[in-house]
């Protein structure tokens, strides 16, 4: 997820009972054994493959290109900014981040969406080529596993916003050849494929468009996972029904905790995704996790928009920036905690079982709204510790970390290969 408006972007930039393989009830504290849980969680993060469904590193780098057109940050080294770099990924045990090829909604109107997607893919491939001892591309689960065995971090690719397909069905196969392994059908506004959750006041298609249904079928044919994050409820429902293989929600949390936030996925739709064999991958942004943080984000967006529009201010206006800074000092943002991420995992497991939940952090996409204890890619062990404390087995955590999304990925590969 990237901010849905320029004003929200300004805000983000300024604010710097179930069982789990045991008979322990959900949320019941477990008395630690003699093994220190902190060390055990770190060891577990090193041992299992961690696949994160959504990391916005490519667009983060694109926003700060140097005069030569190259990124000013080198993510093969520790960086002062952002949530992802190689040293921190190694520290946290991250193996397979799906790098988001993010296409802002305005490209649907101005054109150039496919070209932007190709340029971002080029950037990710170049980063991997420049540090072959650290990074490698992953076009399949087999490649991802091999890269991990060789001590490399895999870059898998997911396009965020099917606007990159433009109006040409053949572009689906083009992006499959380029290594894209999921496509989020839309983003913050309705596009040629689908209605968007953030565009609640308008429903262009009442779900998927006829072209969107063709695109889903073509994604099935060529072996690209269908991602239903950002879609309206009707569009999610229709995507699940149309797809012949399981779908994923690459970075969505549970609407149970944020009832008025359609961007999160409802219990009904979690059940629908799971019934098809799919996976809901939990977003780490505080506004996705807690009602207090969600209400705060909506209020601050409203207040800043009102201030700007009544004064005719542009997003880069010094007066608007000063207002935001003052607002944040007087009204500090409530942040979720790592335990809240575990609560969302618990909720999915309670509804549909351990096989249908994963991790989709939205690192580098939700800015300073990340929860206490999960501020960057070095901190996955903190979440593992909470899950161990709640009685999840190591086999359960491995499914959450990568096993479930790898299963879907392989099913989609196998379906395409059988055609």
**Which residue's entry shows tokens 């909506």?**
298
Q: pLDDT digits over 241-269, tens only?
A: 999 999 999 999 999 999 999 999 999 99
Q: What is the mean pLDDT of residues 62-66?
A: 93
Identify the pLDDT of residue 158: 98
Q: Which structure tokens are listed for 267? A: 């219990």
Please tell me whether residue 226 adopts helix, strand or coil conformation. Answer: strand
Residue 324 lies in a domain: yes
d(CA 84, CA 377): 6
The reported pLDDT for the residue numbered 19 is 30
User: For residue 68, what pLDDT is reported?
Assistant: 93
Q: How many CB atoms lie within 10 A of CB 237?
A: 18
The pLDDT value given to residue 419:
83
Residue 198's pLDDT band (cuts 50, 70, 90) = confident
In a domain, 404, yes or no: yes
Give per-residue pLDDT as tens, 84-140.
999 999 999 999 999 999 999 999 999 999 999 999 999 999 999 999 999 999 999
User: Please, which pLDDT band fits residue 200 given cuts at 50, 70 and 90?
Assistant: low
Q: What is the tens place of the pLDDT at every residue in 372-391?
A: 999 999 999 999 999 999 99
Residue 1 inside a domain? The answer is no
Inside any domain, residue 127 = yes
User: Between these two residues, 413 and 315, which has the higher pLDDT value?
Assistant: 413
* 211: enclosing H helix or E strand: helix 210-222
Rounded CA-CA distance 15/322 in Å is 12
Closest CA to 299 of 327, 264, 341, 259: 327
Which residues constitute the domain of residue 190? 6-417
Identify which of 147, 146, 174, 142 has the alpha carbon closest to the alpha carbon of residue 159: 174
- How many domains does the chain contain in total? 1
What is the C-alpha separation between 109 and 105, in angstroms, rounded?
A: 8
- Residue 1's pLDDT band (cuts 50, 70, 90): low
| CA 7 to each of CA 18, 141, 291, 330: distance values in angstroms, whole numbers, following the listed order | 41, 39, 21, 18
Please compute the mean of the pLDDT values over residues 365-377 and round it to a whole number: 96
Model confidence, pTM? 0.91
Q: Which CATH number belongs to the domain containing residue 291 in this structure? A: 3.20.20.140
Confirm whether 268 is domain-assigned. yes
Residue-wise pLDDT tens digits, 180-195: 999 999 999 999 999 9
Residues 6 or more apart whose CB falls under 8 angstroms from that of 361 comprise 52, 53, 54, 55, 83, 251, 283, 284, 374, 377
Residue 141 host element (H or E):
helix 141-149
- pLDDT averaged over the chain? 92
Closest CA to 166 of 230, 232, 112: 112
Query: Using one digit for the tens of pLDDT, what is the confidence trace for 35-54?
Result: 689 999 999 999 999 999 99
Does a structural domain hold residue 128? yes
């Amino acid at each position: 997820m990237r901010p849905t408006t320029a004003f929200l972007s300004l805000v983000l930039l300024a604010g710097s009972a179930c069982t789990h393989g045991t008979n322990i009830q959900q949320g019941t504290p477990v008395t630690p054994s003699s093994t220190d849980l902190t060390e055990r969680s770190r060891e577990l993060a090193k041992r299992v493959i961690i696949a994160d469904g959504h990391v916005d590193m490519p667009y983060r780098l694109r926003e700060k290109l140097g005069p030569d057109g190259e990124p000013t940050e080198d993510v093969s080294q520790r960086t002062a900014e952002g949530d992802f770099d190689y040293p921190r990924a190694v520290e946290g045990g991250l193996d397979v981040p799906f790098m988001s090829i993010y296409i802002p909604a305005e490209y649907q109107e101005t054109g150039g969406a496919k070209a932007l997607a190709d340029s971002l893919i080029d950037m990710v491939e170049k980063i991997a080529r420049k540090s072959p001892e650290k990074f490698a591309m992953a076009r399949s689960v087999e490649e991802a596993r091999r890269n991990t065995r060789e001590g490399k971090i895999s870059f898998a690719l997911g396009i965020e916003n099917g606007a990159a397909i433009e109006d040409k069905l053949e572009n689906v196969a083009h992006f499959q050849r380029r290594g894209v392994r999921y496509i989020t059908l839309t983003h913050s506004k309705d596009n040629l494929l689908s209605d968007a959750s953030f565009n609640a006041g308008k429903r262009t298609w009442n779900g998927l468009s006829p072209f969107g249904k063709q695109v889903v079928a073509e994604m099935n044919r060529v072996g690209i996972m269908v991602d239903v994050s950002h879609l309206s409820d009707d569009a999610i429902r229709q995507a699940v029904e149309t797809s012949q293989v399981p779908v994923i929600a690459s970075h969505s949390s549970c609407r149970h905790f944020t009832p008025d936030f359609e961007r999160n996925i409802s219990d009904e739709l979690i059940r629908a995704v799971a019934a098809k064999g799919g996976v809901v991958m939990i977003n780490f942004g505080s506004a996705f996790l807690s009602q207090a943080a969600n209400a705060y984000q909506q209020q601050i967006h409203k207040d800043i928009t009102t201030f700007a529009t009544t004064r005719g201010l542009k997003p880069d206006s010094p007066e608007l920036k000063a207002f935001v800074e003052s607002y944040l000092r007087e009204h500090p943002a409530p942040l979720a905690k790592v335990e809240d991420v575990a609560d969302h995992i618990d909720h999915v497991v309670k509804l549909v079982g351990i096989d249908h939940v994963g991790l989709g952090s939205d690192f580098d996409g939700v800015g300073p709204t990340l929860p206490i204890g999960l501020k960057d890619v070095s901190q996955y062990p903190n979440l593992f510790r909470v899950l161990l404390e709640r009685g999840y087995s190591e086999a359960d955590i491995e499914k959450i970390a990568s096993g479930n999304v790898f299963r879907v990925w392989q099913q989609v590969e196998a379906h395409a290969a059988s055609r």
